[in-house]
Amino acid sequence: MRATVFGLDVQSDALPSYLQGAASPATGRPLAASVLQDGSPKPDWPGDADLVCDEHRPDGSILFQIEAHPDAGYLIHGPDYGTHRLSGDGRSLLSSPEELPDAAWQRLLIAQVLPFAALLQGLEVFHASAVVINGKAIALLGPSGSGKTSLALELCSRSASFLADDVLAIDAQDQVLLAHPGTPVAGLDRLAPQSAGEVLATDDRERMVRVSGAVAPAPLGALFFLERRQDGPADPAFEPAADARMLLSATFNYVLQSPERLERLLEVCALAATLRVERIVIGPGCETAHVAQGILQRLGDAT
């Protein structure tokens, strides 16, 4: 079985439920994925691997960690998310749920593991949700909690097509940035208004819902950076984002720092800078529907 997500052709005897429904065509970047059954022994992991990422929750507890070894590849794991062993070339993946619910280990799978594999296979990844409007991918960037997903779904209620939630995989083809569909699920704040779509899981932080995703990659057309301020305006304020550091810092992954990757990041950001790149300054009283309408008006001005 195959599901193409983040520009990768994930092949598995039994596709994880969070990947089911992906409709993008194959890209020729294979990832062989398998899942250890309960009770199966995990393969040995080198004791001399380097800890290259250590993410914590606000209370100081470990969220997830990434270890790297020149021969074994990468180990991405967390106490609430199981263990995922990824080959160094991003073409082979072994996930160990460790008796956790499917929603738990698959959350790390789509949020960190598959985007990391995409990076290893030559794509760039941005911390962005995205939709497709008039055949162009529109990236919505910003820190966690800025409302990227809610805004993407609001735009979809106005005829946009959902492309990606929180992580956007992009590659440069003939000086065009091609944005690939992510998984057909989205993570919303648990207290956010109920949206259409099957609810897959709910925890104390978020609600995962299934969405109808785009059926093909789309050329990147615009990037909007969401900036919420307590002293921000009631109406969304659009302004050019001329600082190149905003694009460079928008990457989702700071772990892989090989010369090849950094050169690719610079190339992608240089091409992105030629597009419409704007900051949206938003105050606490500005509703998501208002921001969506503003974006559609801005894009209309460009046509």
What's the confidence (pLDDT) of residue 303? 40
What's the confidence (pLDDT) of residue 84? 96
pLDDT value at 302 more than 70: no
Express as a percent the part of the chain with pLDDT over 90.
68
Query: Phi and psi of 244, rounded to 5°?
Result: -60, -25
- Mean pLDDT of the 274-289 span: 92
- The pLDDT tens digits of the residues spanning 2-40 come to 999 999 999 998 889 999 989 899 999 999 999 998 767
- Mean pLDDT of the 39-53 span: 88
Spatial contact of 85 and 74, defined as CB atoms under 8 Å apart: yes
pLDDT value at 189 more than 80: no
pLDDT class for 105, splitting at 50, 70, 90?
Answer: very high
Pairing of β 30-35 and β 8-11: parallel
| Domain limits, CATH 3.40.50.300, in the chain | 126-302
The per-residue pLDDT of the chain, averaged, comes to 91
pLDDT value at 254 more than 80: yes
Just give the CATH number of 126-302. 3.40.50.300
Three-state DSSP class for residue 42 = coil
pLDDT value at 96 more than 50: yes
What's the confidence (pLDDT) of residue 272? 95
- The pLDDT tens digits of the residues spanning 111-133 come to 999 999 999 999 999 999 999 99
Helix 148-156 and helix 288-302: axis angle, to 10°? Answer: 70
* Per-residue tokens: 140: 């919505």
